[in-house]
Structure 1
Amino acid sequence: MDSGFVDCHCHISAQEFEEDLEDVIQRTKEAGVKTLVAVTEGVGEFERVLQLQERYPDLVAPCFGVHPLQVDGGLEQRSVKPQIGLDFTPWCAPSQQDKDDQLDVFIKQLSIAQELQLPVNVHSRSAAKVTISTMRKQGISRALLHNFAGKPSVALEGVKAGYLFSFPPAVCRNQQRDKLIQQIPLEHICLETDSPALGLEKHVRNEPRNITLCCQHIADLKGVSPETVKVVTAENAYRLFPKVSRR
């Protein structure tokens, strides 16, 4: 059976896809994508993702969480108060209190995942070391660190803990990430698009079909065939997300 691609982190419920969703889905399938792990940024998206799963049951797999940055009232983004993960960039978490708020929510979401025996799909930005150490302290054994950009030494701590790392098409234009990808074993790598963001070109809408680009780039860096990357990363994804059926 053709393993197909698994897009482990995709915002298919985003407004950017509403007008031509059918065409996007058609192109996704034609590119050989078998599963879209549909992530959320806020509670308001949960229902939309469930509707998409009902509409495309053989493709869409819901993945619910709350992003560490939330729009609070106006247009300004602030650290979440009550997507799973941490974002410690200075303009998003200017104070220690902001970081503490995010950490509290992160730990609560990790606890829910533990209670429900579910894996976590984690946003980590400028917080790689804290993210991985927190997950290890909380006893998390199944985790995906999406669009990971931390140091190779920190990534290898995650590898030791059994965590997986995914990379979007944007890595093709970021040579700084090449060394990191080369050091992470293929058995710990998954593919993602993070569409509609993080495509090959900045400010151009990314789509799930572009998963082929990061597959080719990782294959080139690893010195293996794109088919090998497709098969191994899909196996990694299904191992991480056992509730997703292999269609």
Structure 2
Amino acid sequence: MAARFVDCHCHMTADEFLQDTEEVLERSRKEGLRALISVTEHIREFDRIIQLSERYPDFLMPCLGVHPIQNNEDGPYSATLKDLEPALTCFEKYKEHVVAIGEIGLDFTPWLTPTAKEREEQMKVLKMQLDIAKRLDLPVNVHSRSAGRQTIAFLKEQGVEKALLHNFAGRPSAALEGVKAGYFFSFPPAVTRTDQRAKLIRQIPIEHICLETDSPALGPHKQERNVPWNIRIPCDYIASVKGLSPETVSEAATRNALRLFQRVNHRLNR
């Protein structure tokens, strides 16, 4: 039987998909995707992702979250509690719909989050969303740019047990701390652009690896829109790095995804 993939982290409400969302979803299904776990970055996406998931209830699995980097007319900036506040009622309103809380996390990119005060505020935004996830017994879909070690330490400190570290680029030693805590790690097609992550991927056990595309970003080529059916690209790359067959990686990654995202597993099997 052909592999059936779970894309553990994509953005189907991104502007790049506004013109052809349904065509992308239909083709993704035909190309062997079993489910798309679609995250949000800000409250403006919440209603749309819920509406889309209601039209594709056995395929598009929604997550709600406020990303650590927000945007306004002046450009990107580090998230504050003011960005999170209007979203809080939505987590409660849509709690039966979502399969995870995300995309949430930490982003300590120096030019985006230059001060200790901004980093502390980001951590408060993250903590509040982790508390929501724990209260609702949901996993978290986590961003950790320039903050791999800090993010994993914070998740552990907050008692988080179910987490996906998406597009993880931290040190292998930090990742292995996450593995010990039971966390999962996923990698998008962009991982093939250099061999920077090969050492990291070699050290993370296959039992802790999932697959993602981060569509429409992080495709195999810069400046090109990424799509969910590119999920075979990181699958093949991980297989080559680990000396495994692509079938072994796809089966393990799907099994891991369904173990972590239990509501996805339930919706696919009901």
Superposed pair shares fold, TM > 0.5: yes
Q: Residue 22 of structure 1: CA displacement?
A: 2.5
- 2:64 alignment counterpart: 64
Match of 1:52 in 2: 52
1:185 alignment partner, one of 205, 212, 215: 205
Structure 2: which 5+ residue stretches go unaligned?
82-102
* 1:26 to partner: Cα distance: 2.5
Contact in 2 for aligned 1:238/1:246 (Cα 8 Å): no
Which residue matches 2:76?
77
SS in structure 1 at match of 2:262: coil
8 Å contact from structure 1 (residues 197, 206) kept in 2: yes
CA distance in 1, matches of 2:134, 2:3: 29
1:89 counterpart letter in structure 2: T
Q: Distance in 1 between matches of 2:12 and 2:202?
A: 29
Superposed counterparts of 1:124-163, under 5 Å = 124-163=144-183
The separation in 1 between residues aligned to 2:22 and 2:48, in whole angstroms, is 15
Q: Identity, % of aligned pairs?
A: 56
Compare 190-199 and 17-26 and name the one that shifted more: 17-26
Deviation at 1:76, TM superposition (A): 1.8
The answer on 1:230 being equivalent to 2:250 is yes
Q: How much does 1:3 deviate?
A: 6.0
Paired residue for 1:164?
A: 184
1:75, distance to aligned residue in structure 2 (A): 3.0
Flag structure 1 segments of 5+ consecutive residues without an equivalent: none
Q: Deviations over 1:49-89 (max 9, x none)?
A: 011111211210001110001124x2321111113100001
Deviations 1:92-138 (A, max 9, x none): 10111110110111111111111111100000000011100111011
With normalisation by structure 2, the TM-score equals 0.89
Report the Cα distance in structure 1 between the residues aligned to 2:63 and 2:194, rounded to whole angstroms: 27
Displacement of 1:184: 0.3
Give how far 1:47 is off: 0.6
Query: Cα deviation per residue 1:149-179 (whole Å; 9 max; x = unaligned)?
Result: 0000100000000000000000011211111
Per the alignment, residue 236 of structure 2 pairs with: 216
Matched, 1:10 2:32: no
Partner of 2:91: none
Which residue pairs with 1:122 in the alignment?
A: 142
Choose the corresponding residue for 1:95, options 88, 107, 115. Answer: 115
- Deviation string, structure 1 residues 190-236 (Cα, Å, up to 9, x no partner): 00000000000000000001001111111111111111111110010
With the length of structure 1 as denominator, give the TM-score of the two structures. Answer: 0.97
Q: Which residue of 1 aligns with 2:268?
A: 246
Amino acid at match of 1:168: P
Paired residue type of 1:61: M
> How many equivalent pairs are there?
246
Aligned AA (1:6): V
1:112 equivalent in structure 2: 132
- For the 8 Å contact 1:168–1:199, the answer to whether it is kept is yes
Determine if contact 2:11/2:40 at 8 Å carries over to the other structure: yes
Secondary structure, aligned partner of 2:9: strand
The equivalent of 1:199 in structure 2 is 219
**3-state SS in 1 of match to 2:197:** helix
> Runs (4+) of structure 1 moved beyond 2 Å?
none
The residue type paired with residue 201 of structure 1 is H
Query: Contact 2:3/2:247 (CA < 8 Å) preserved in 1?
Result: no
| AA partner of residue 135 (structure 1) | L
The alpha-carbon deviation at position 2 of structure 1 amounts to 6.2
